[in-house]
Amino acid sequence: MSDLIVSKKDKCYSNECKIKKKNGGASMFRLKPKENKFFVLFSKSSHITHEISKCLPTAISNIDDLEKILSQASKLEKEADAINDKIIDELKKTFITPLDREDLFALANMLDDYVDQVQEIIERMYVYQAKQPIDLANDLAKLIESVGSSIVTIFDLIENVQANQQELLDEVRKIVTWENQGDKLYRKGMAQLFSECKDPIEIIKWKEILEHMEDCLDHGEKIGDIIRGVVMKYA
């Protein structure tokens, strides 16, 4: 009985693949207007990701204006949640998706999580009433902003994976490079924090903030890993 069920699923999946690969695979990547809705939504989500990532260096550089910056970041976070909900709703209603359903679902949630993480970093700075940060905190914030910029580029390219596979992989490599740089900056920043900061409370505050910034860069790399997998599937 279980073999029969699996067989039916395989047949259904096979038929879906045949439809997607019709005309040499072109129909998978050059979609009808009604199917473009996924890429429109992902483009909006990626731009929000970039916008909120730009808030972080601003927050680090304007530590006395955190309430206003947090308000802006929280607004962007709510917009990201709404778009993520739309993507999930469309996945429920759409029989044939432009990319694997699992990949679209994962990417939608990972982008939303990235936005959440940046918003939470700024929120912690505000709630903890963190004072002047160490220099390397700003360097980490700029790396997070750079990842946000690459995410926009990726989702501008992903509608046509075959034609843009090299450019997509180039952007993923950038994200990996920035994550590696972030690891080094994080270690240097922690060393600087413990050697130069004399206030133990500030050490506790910035230790946690730096940890979350490093986690955010790790999360960006995970988004890149999914994109690399998509390219390998459809190249």
The predicted-structure confidence for 2-33, as pLDDT tens digits, reads as follows: 444 444 334 343 334 444 444 444 444 444 54
Cβ atoms of residues 216 and 144 within 8 Å? yes
For the chain, give the percent of residues with pLDDT over 90. Answer: 78
Instruction: Give pTM, 2 decimals.
Output: 0.84
Q: How far from 7 is each of 1, 10, 20, CA to CA, in Å?
A: 10, 5, 20
**Average of per-residue pLDDT across 35-53:** 94
Q: How confident is the model at residue 134 (pLDDT cuts 50, 70, 90)?
A: confident
Token pair recorded at residue 164: 């843009």
Q: How confident is the model at residue 75 (pLDDT cuts 50, 70, 90)?
A: very high
pLDDT at 131: 86
50/44 Cα distance (integer angstroms): 10
pLDDT at 24: 43
For the chain, domain boundaries: 32-234
> What is the maximum alpha-carbon separation in the chain?
69
The string over 17-36, giving b where at least 16 C-beta atoms fall within 10 Å of a residue's C-beta and e elsewhere, is eeebeeeeeebbbebeeebe
Q: What CATH topology corresponds to 32-234?
A: Methane Monooxygenase Hydroxylase; Chain G, domain 1 (1.20.58)
pLDDT at 6: 40
The string over 203-222, giving b where at least 16 C-beta atoms fall within 10 Å of a residue's C-beta and e elsewhere, is eebbeebbeebbebbebbbe
Quick check: 74 pLDDT over 50?
yes
Cβ atoms of residues 158 and 227 within 8 Å? yes
Per residue in 217-226, pLDDT (tens digit) is 999 999 999 9
**Average of per-residue pLDDT across 112-140:** 94
pLDDT at 135: 85
Residue closest to 54 by CA, chosen among 130, 114, 141, 181: 141
Phi, psi (degrees; rounded to nearest 5) at 21: -95, 5
Average pLDDT of the chain to the nearest whole number = 87
Quick check: 152 pLDDT over 80?
yes
Token pair recorded at residue 138: 């700003």
146/101 Cα distance (integer angstroms): 28
